[in-house]
Structure 1
Amino acid sequence: MTDVQVNPPPRVGFGGGCHWCTEAVFAALRGVEVQQGFISAAPPDDNFSEAVLLEWDPAEIPLSALIEIHLRTHASTSNHKMRGKYRSAIYVFTAEQERDAERLLAERREADEADYVTRVLRCEAFKPSDPRFQNYGEKNAGNQFCTRYIDPKLDKLRADYRRFLEPSAL
C-alpha cells in the first residue's frame, strides 16, 4: 500500500473587529473552516489581537474574495482607538502568501479608491478563544449584540457575496 501525500488546505488569518463578528462572517462561507481566537505578529504587532484563523478550499472561494469580504465587513478604513484590540490585518504564513495578499490588498485599494488601514502581517502565534465564546453568533442568534453587529454583516454577505455562501446562510 502506498501512502498518498495530501496537501493541507491553505491557512490565513483575519483581524479587524470583534472576533465574534469576524467568525460569523467567515463561517457563513462555503469551503471555509474558522477558528476564533487571538493572533500575534512580529513586533511591534506582537500583542494578541482578536482575529480568526481560516483554512479554506481555493476551489470554493479564492483568497481574493476572502480579502474583499474581510475589507467590506469591518471598519477597514478607520484607524480608531481600539486598533490594538482589533488590529485590521491579513495574517499570512508564507512569503508567497504575503506577496499575494499585498498584491490583492493593493488592487482592492485602487479598485475601491479606499485608504484601507489593513496591513499584511506574518502570523506568529494563534490561541483560540475560550470554548464558551466559540460560535458566538450561532449560539446567540437573536440577542442584542448579534442583531446589532453580526446580522448586518451577514445581510451584506447575502446581498453581495451570495455565490460564496453555505446554503444554511442564505
Structure 2
Amino acid sequence: MIKIGFGGSCHWCTEAVFQSLHGVKEVLQGWVATHGDDFSEAVIVEFDENEIAFYDLVAVHLATHSCTSAHSMRRKYRSAVYVYNDEQAGYAQKAIGQLQAEYPEPIITQVLPMKEFKLNQPEYLNYYYSDPQKPFCENVVRPKLKILLERFGRMVNYIPFRA
C-alpha cells in the first residue's frame, strides 16, 4: 500500500471523493502542517497501485477542487499534493504538468513534503458516508461527487446516488 496526501477544499469533501474510488483502502481526514503550526485541511489516502494509478488520483484531486484559484481561503484550504519521498514528488509534479493542458488557467497546486498530520475528531470522520442527507453533504459534498461520477465514473467504487 502507498500513502499520499491531498488538500484543496474542505476535508469532508476530499475524504468523500477519495473514499468513493476503487483501489483506495483508507482515507484519513484532518489537517496537514508544512512548517510550524501552519495547518490546512487535508486527507491522507492509502491506495493499492495495482488497482488505481498515482496519476489518476492526482487527476481526480485537481478536478474536484478549485486547483487554479488563489481564493482568500487558501491558507485553510491549501491546494497541495503532500508527498512522503522524492519519488512521489517527481510523480506528482509530472502528473500536474501533464494535466495542465486540461485547464485554461495555471494550476496552483503545490507539491509539498508531508511533515505533520493531525487526525480529525472521531465524530467528524467518514463525514459524508455516515449521513449523506446532511445539508452540508447534499449542498457541498454531493456536487464534487457528481463531478467524480461524470469525469471518472470508471474509477468509482460506490456513491449512494447517481448523477
Deviation at 1:110, TM superposition (A): 2.9
Q: Which amino acid aligns with 1:124?
A: K
SS in 2 for 1:115: coil
TM-score, normalising length: structure 1: 0.88
- Aligned to 1:38, which of 31, 40, 44? 31
Match of residue 82 from structure 2: 91
Taking the aligned partners of 1:106 and 1:118, their CA distance within structure 2 comes to: 11
Match of residue 11 from structure 1: 3
Alpha carbons 1:60, 1:164 under 8 Å: kept: no
Aligned length: 160
1:118-153 CA distances to partner (integer Å, 9 max, x unpaired)? 100000011100001001111221121111111111
Taking the aligned partners of 1:115 and 1:16, their CA distance within structure 2 comes to: 15
Residue 151 of structure 1 pairs with residue 142 of structure 2? yes
| The 10-residue stretch of structure 1 (144-153 or 110-119) with the greater mean CA deviation from structure 2 | 110-119
Taking the aligned partners of 2:127 and 2:102, their CA distance within structure 1 comes to: 33
Q: Which amino acid aligns with 2:144?
A: K
TM-score, normalising length: structure 2: 0.92
Deviation at 1:168, TM superposition (A): 5.4
Superposed, which structure 2 residues align to 1:94-113 within 5 Å? 94-113=85-104
Taking the aligned partners of 1:142 and 1:78, their CA distance within structure 2 comes to: 29
Pick the structure with greater CA Rg: 1
Deviation at 1:167, TM superposition (A): 4.2
State, as a whole percentage, how many aligned pairs show the same letter.
41
Residue 60 of structure 1 pairs with residue 51 of structure 2? yes
Alpha carbons 2:21, 2:158 under 8 Å: kept: no
Residue 115 of structure 1 pairs with residue 90 of structure 2? no
Taking the aligned partners of 1:113 and 1:62, their CA distance within structure 2 comes to: 24
Taking the aligned partners of 2:158 and 2:44, their CA distance within structure 1 comes to: 22
Deviation at 1:162, TM superposition (A): 1.4
SS in 1 for 2:56: helix
Match of residue 6 from structure 1: none
Query: Which residues of structure 2 form unaligned runs of 5+?
Result: none
Match of residue 78 from structure 1: 69
Taking the aligned partners of 1:103 and 1:80, their CA distance within structure 2 comes to: 24
Deviation at 1:102, TM superposition (A): 0.7
Taking the aligned partners of 1:24 and 1:168, their CA distance within structure 2 comes to: 9
